[in-house]
Amino acid sequence: MDNQLLIRAYSVGVGDCIYVRIPKARKKGGRVDDFHILIDCGTRAVGDLLKTALDHLKGELPDEGGKKRLDLLLISHEHEDHIKGIDPKWFDAIRIENLWMSVAMDRDHPQAKFAHQLHDMAATAMRNIALRGLALSPELQDIVDRYGIGNDGAVDALRTTLPERNGITPLYVHADLKPAALQPKTLTGATFKVLGPEFDIDATYLGDAGPAILHGFAAATGVLAPKAGGGDVDTPANISASDFQRLRSRMMSSAFAFAEEEGEVVNNTSVMLLIEWRGRRLLFVGDAEWNRAYRDKKKNFAWNTAWKLRKEELGKPIDFLKIGHHGSINSTPWNDKEDGEVTEPSQILDAILPLPGAGARPKAKAVVSTERTTYKVIPRATLLLEIGKRVGNTRIYANELGPDQIADLPNYDAYEQKWLDRPQPVRTDLETRLTGKGFVDVLIEPAGD
């Protein structure tokens, strides 16, 4: 393994906690050793999974100055399934040398004014709904949970606590940064490139619809707040109780729709990091989403934007893909209609992970950090099968999982059973059932080896 690059995806449920070790890529004071990266640290499940992952990670990091050295902590975006584990006490024993975050997380960024206002409005609306104690479907509860108070603590730790403790200044990264800014002082033998997000968050990911979205959200959430001391607000005197409840229901539906829209903006401002190492290209995409096509001055999606503006890099095959958004239907570009039509998303997939020729075996690799839950499109089985045709590190899980190992898979009959007998990329949930390790390793050889 001394000459292999390691990607380790910890099994943390629906979330990303990904360790990357680049061999012999750190040089300081004449000494050359490995360069260690942690990409995201979050989950929608209980935090104990992240604590276990971080404790294991500490065993992989080198000792330096009485602490474990982490050369780079990269946070792709600020959803809880990517930052929930950013608890300062869990990082007490780790010295962080570089901290990168999406430029959309910079509260002082002038080109993200509308995006930040939209986020604040969504947080307020969802927290007001949470205070009402309503019984919500799993999908709606998931939206509410994204805006929990705990998320604020993780963001504060990233912006203030961890930088101060480690004597560093966060770098808010975007695709327009010059190469020198993306080259940590100690990094050698590898190159980092950022394909997204673009610097102008509002113009690229909200477009000319930004003011209208904010106005609509404000109108939708005006009657959702509970009383100052708790409990539901009283019915106004000029409206019947039944009409007021119908109004509240409509406003709540609108609030959820706007919160989903804000969630799309956050996903689409994920850091899309390309690592080039010894002839290999590795792409980590956070939860970047795709749409049908890029449209100038409109609300755009991350993959389409990178295809339009960064095609020189995105238009070439890659050797590794961190499958986006836990295998969701909307976060790896493909023809989701599965009708054979050539679309912009299918062109992107063909460019980065081309289908092998007749009789050839794919050489690229991929991993998906996921957990089958009650959420029907994470992971999307048919998408994983499509990626499985294009990568070499696949499993036919039906041949290896025993009945007891799949009996507790939610929605197994509807979303797993039909497809487990065909190759799909390695995935953290099923690999954990097979190996019990709590993580999945992907090894990358230098080109030519």
Supply the pTM of this predicted model.
Answer: 0.93
Residue 252: is its pLDDT beyond 60?
yes
Which domain, by its residues, includes 247?
A: 5-444
Q: What is the pLDDT of residue 144?
A: 87
Question: Percentage of the chain with pLDDT > 70?
Answer: 93
Question: Percentage of the chain with pLDDT > 90?
Answer: 71
Rounded alpha-carbon distances, angstroms, from residue 270 to 72, 168, 264, 376:
17, 22, 10, 23
Cβ proximity of 12 and 427 under 8 Å = no
Average pLDDT over every residue of 152-174: 96
- Beta strands (DSSP E) in 168-229 are 171-173, 190-196
- On whether residue 276 sits in a domain, the answer given is yes
Residue 123: is its pLDDT beyond 80?
yes
Q: What is the pLDDT of residue 76?
A: 98
Residue 239: is its pLDDT beyond 70?
no
- On whether residue 200 sits in a domain, the answer given is yes
- Using only C-alpha atoms, the chain has a radius of gyration, in whole angstroms, of 22
Q: What is the pLDDT of residue 369?
A: 98
- Beta strands (DSSP E) in 203-315 are 272-277, 280-284
Average pLDDT over every residue of 253-263: 88
Residue 257: is its pLDDT beyond 90?
no
Q: How many domains would you assign to the chain?
A: 1
Q: How confident is the model at residue 224 (pLDDT cuts 50, 70, 90)?
A: low
- On whether residue 430 sits in a domain, the answer given is yes
- On whether residue 48 sits in a domain, the answer given is yes
- On whether residue 194 sits in a domain, the answer given is yes
What is the secondary structure of 23-38 as a DSSP string? Answer: EEEEEETTEEEEEEEE
Q: What is the pLDDT of residue 371?
A: 92
Q: What is the pLDDT of residues 373-401, one digit of tens each?
A: 766 778 999 999 999 999 999 999 999 99
- On whether residue 353 sits in a domain, the answer given is yes
Residue 222: is its pLDDT beyond 70?
no
Q: What is the pLDDT of residue 176?
A: 95
- On whether residue 449 sits in a domain, the answer given is no
Q: What is the pLDDT of residue 269?
A: 98
Q: What is the pLDDT of residue 214?
A: 86
Q: What is the pLDDT of residue 139?
A: 80
Q: What is the pLDDT of residue 245?
A: 59
- On whether residue 159 sits in a domain, the answer given is yes
